[in-house]
């Protein structure tokens, strides 16, 4: 039986016997399982590469760290140039753009590309994470399943959220945090219709992870020191520190990317970026790869093992040298991560954020314990909560940060300090950095979905769908008589664009402008279009204006019709009535 015929019969049976709600539940289970498989696959490929290369690094006394990042980036470059033939896109922003502007459509190639480029980048020392690529691959799987079964845009977007939740749940074994991440970052509505599929996908993905990896967890952490009220001030200090660090993280990300844009070729970026990463890895080995081992060593209190073999080993008996080296991890993790991206690598920012936060939390605790004022706080707890502070600040996802760390610890005994630090970090960062690394560029392009329904509906609308072109076009040299016979008499509109020979809009004429003289035949030959035309109250720029800006122009100008200019030339008109009709239709679809 041909594949097309089989799918067609399957769809007919689905429409006959399976309700939409139950079908979405079934798809969420399937996507959860596949997301778990994707996460397990990408982890195992990367860990295999790391295991081999770390053995080689030990034999060469870390000197190979100079070569590995360049080699990994070069392999990614060859794959992109000769196999995928498409530039690497940042995982989460590309998904968010797909949700807002491409009806949730992701190409099939995006299923496999992250499974190759991310392990090559991370395995060879790129200082990025695997979670973003895992989410990207799982989301592409989800999108293509949605296309296969002809689900609508809203369901497709929900299933992509299920894929993201599934990937996070599988990697961290934290289904609740995974659901909250999908709601906070992907701006999904928190309703029963969306919550249940997200929950089902998360649970099925966690079960997949348990099936392949058993009880293995990323973080070996057990709460041994409970929160006490006297530590409140210190957690506020940690919140302020993580807030400042989050701002630094975002600023350095955009600054380094801007710096690398100066280089014209991918080869130049690769060499300069690879050498920079190699030097950083030589002096600060914890920057290698994702950094889960570094976090676990800090949890166990073994800061020397966390730091690894460095040129400063002779001085690590001095706790302030250790603090300085750990602070170096805090500072340079963001630099190494962004350099990896800018040089052509593939990866995510969530896990580097956690590494940076763990280092900062440990630094703050060590300073408090060693300044000689008799204070003593739990370094493990501060390490853990520092991670939450950075996640909240960098991703603008405070609830995800709280529940992720709470699930990692297996309880809610640290819930109060988590809320203190996370809220401080989020408030400070949000007041300085309006948009995250994920959303800044999308917001500037008017392509960002948010929990603001009005803005989201306008983001989902397409300008082409409201442009009208059935207007009689006039030229400035036309006489009044010609205009009446060739324009007014043949048009059902009361608006007429005036276009010159280069197709530039030079003015408009309303029927009201000529109503009092249109029957005065003595003026038919003596007056021209140029006499009556005037400038429109505003213009819509096809290439630059988002739908939010279009709506604002109508509000500010009070106009009923505004001309659209594309590539400097007249393209058509948008009417307020058609715009509002399209807005209401989209609002109904979005909220139903």
| 482 exposure class (CB count in 10 Å sphere: 0-12, 13-18, 19+) | middle
What is the 3 state secondary structure string of 466-502?
A: HEECCCCCECCCCEHHHHHHHHHHHCCCCEEEEECCC
Q: Flag whether 337 is in a domain.
A: yes
For 271-284, how does the pLDDT look when each residue is reduced to its tens digit (9 = 90+)? 899 889 888 888 88
Q: Flag whether 470 is in a domain.
A: yes
| Per-position DSSP letters for 287-324, written without gaps between them | GSSS-HHHHHHHHTT-HHHHH-S-TTGGGTTSHHHHHH
Do 251 and 362 share a structural domain? yes
For 57-80, how does the pLDDT look when each residue is reduced to its tens digit (9 = 90+)? 666 655 666 788 889 999 999 999
Share of the chain above pLDDT 90, in %: 51
For residues 113-136, one letter each, b for 16 or more C-beta atoms within 10 angstroms of the residue's C-beta and e for the rest, the string is bbbbbbbbbbbbbbbbbbbbbbbb
Boundary-marking domain end, from 391, 415, 448: 448
Do 519 and 375 share a structural domain? no
Do 173 and 39 share a structural domain? yes
Q: CA-CA distance, 341 to 359, in Å (whole number)? A: 21
Do 372 and 401 share a structural domain? yes
Question: Greatest CA separation found in the chain?
Answer: 103
Say which range, 111-115, 291-295, 384-388, 398-402, has the weakest mean pLDDT.
291-295
Q: CA-CA distance, 225 to 242, in Å (whole number)? A: 21
| Of 111, 525, 30, 61, nearest in space to 308 by CA | 61
- The average pLDDT across 41-67 equals 77
Between 450 and 128, the higher pLDDT residue: 128
Q: pLDDT class for 290, splitting at 50, 70, 90?
A: confident
| Total structural domains within the chain | 3
Query: Contact, 579 vs 557, CB < 8 A?
Result: no
Do 483 and 395 share a structural domain? no
Say which range, 33-47, 330-344, 512-526, 537-551, has the weakest mean pLDDT.
512-526
For 353-380, how does the pLDDT look when each residue is reduced to its tens digit (9 = 90+)? 999 999 999 999 999 999 988 899 999 9
Residue 84 has a pLDDT of 87
* Phi and psi torsions of 309, nearest 5°: -85, 115
Q: pLDDT class for 232, splitting at 50, 70, 90?
A: very high
Give the domain extent around 244.
229-448
| Of 2, 26, 7, 6, nearest in space to 150 by CA | 7
Residue 102 has a pLDDT of 87
Q: Which domain CATH number covers 113?
A: 1.10.3080.10
| Of 281, 333, 331, 286, nearest in space to 305 by CA | 286
Do 262 and 202 share a structural domain? no
User: pTM of the prediction?
Assistant: 0.86
Q: CA-CA distance, 95 to 89, in Å (whole number)? A: 10
Lookup: tokens for 112? 């496999």
Q: pLDDT class for 56, splitting at 50, 70, 90?
A: confident
Boundary-marking domain end, from 161, 188, 213: 213
Q: Flag whether 313 is in a domain.
A: yes
């Amino acid at each position: 039986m041909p594949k097309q015929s089989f799918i067609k019969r399957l769809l007919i049976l689905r429409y006959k016997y399976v309700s939409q709600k139950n079908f979405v539940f079934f798809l969420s289970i399937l996507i959860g399982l596949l997301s778990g498989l994707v996460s397990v696959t990408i982890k195992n490929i990367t860990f295999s590469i790391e295991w081999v290369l770390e053995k080689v690094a030990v034999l060469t006394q870390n000197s190979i760290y100079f070569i590995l990042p360049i080699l990994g980036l070069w392999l990614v470059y060859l794959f992109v140039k000769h196999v995928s033939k498409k530039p690497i896109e940042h995982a989460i922003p590309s998904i968010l753009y797909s949700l807002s502007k491409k009806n949730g459509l992701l190409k099939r190639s995006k299923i496999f590309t992250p499974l190759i480029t991310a392990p090559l980048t991370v395995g060879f020392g790129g200082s990025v994470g695997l979670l973003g690529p895992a989410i990207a691959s799982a989301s592409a799987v989800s999108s293509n399943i949605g296309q296969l079964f002809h689900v609508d845009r809203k369901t497709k977007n929900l299933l992509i959220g299920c894929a993201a939740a599934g990937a996070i749940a599988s990697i961290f074994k934290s289904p609740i945090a995974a659901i909250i991440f999908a709601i906070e970052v992907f701006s999904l509505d928190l309703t029963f219709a969306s919550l249940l599929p997200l929950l089902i996908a998360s649970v099925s993905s966690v079960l997949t992870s348990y099936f392949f990896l058993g009880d293995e967890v990323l973080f070996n952490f057990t709460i041994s020191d409970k929160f006490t009220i006297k530590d409140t001030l210190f957690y506020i200090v940690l919140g302020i520190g993580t807030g400042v660090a989050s701002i630094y993280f975002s600023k350095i990300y955009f600054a380094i990317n801007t710096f690398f844009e100066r280089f014209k070729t991918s080869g130049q970026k690769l060499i300069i970026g690879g050498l920079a990463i190699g030097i950083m890895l030589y002096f600060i080995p914890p920057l290698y790869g994702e950094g889960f081992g570094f976090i676990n060593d800090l949890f166990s209190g073994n800061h020397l093992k966390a730091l690894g073999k460095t040129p400063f080993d002779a001085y690590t008996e001095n706790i302030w040298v250790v603090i300085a080296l750990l602070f170096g991890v805090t500072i340079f993790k963001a630099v190494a991560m962004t350099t990896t991206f800018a040089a052509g690598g593939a990866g995510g920012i969530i896990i580097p954020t956690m590494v940076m936060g763990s280092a900062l939390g440990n630094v703050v605790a060590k300073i408090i314990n060693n300044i000689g004022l008799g204070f003593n706080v739990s370094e493990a707890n501060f390490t853990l909560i520092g991670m939450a502070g950075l996640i909240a600040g960098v991703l603008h996802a405070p609830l995800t940060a709280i529940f992720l760390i709470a699930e990692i610890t297996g309880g809610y005994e640290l819930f109060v300090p988590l809320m203190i630090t996370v809220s401080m970090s989020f408030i400070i960062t949000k007041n300085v950095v309006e948009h995250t690394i994920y959303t800044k560029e999308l917001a500037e392009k008017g392509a960002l979905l948010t929990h603001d329904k009005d803005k989201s509906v306008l983001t989902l609308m397409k300008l082409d769908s409201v442009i009208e072109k059935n207007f009689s076009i006039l030229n400035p040299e036309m006489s009044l008589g010609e205009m009446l016979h060739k324009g007014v008499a043949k048009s059902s509109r009361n608006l007429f664009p005036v276009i010159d020979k280069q197709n530039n809009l030079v003015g408009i004429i309303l029927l009201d402008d000529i109503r009092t003289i249109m029957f005065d035949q003595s003026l038919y030959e003596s007056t021209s279009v140029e006499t009556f035309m005037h400038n429109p109250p505003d213009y819509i720029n096809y290439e630059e204006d988002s739908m939010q800006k279009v709506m604002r122009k109508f509000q500010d100008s009070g106009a009923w019709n505004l001309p659209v200019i594309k590539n400097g030339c007249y393209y058509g008109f948008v009417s307020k009535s058609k715009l509002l009709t399209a807005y209401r239709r989209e609002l109904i679809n979005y909220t139903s």
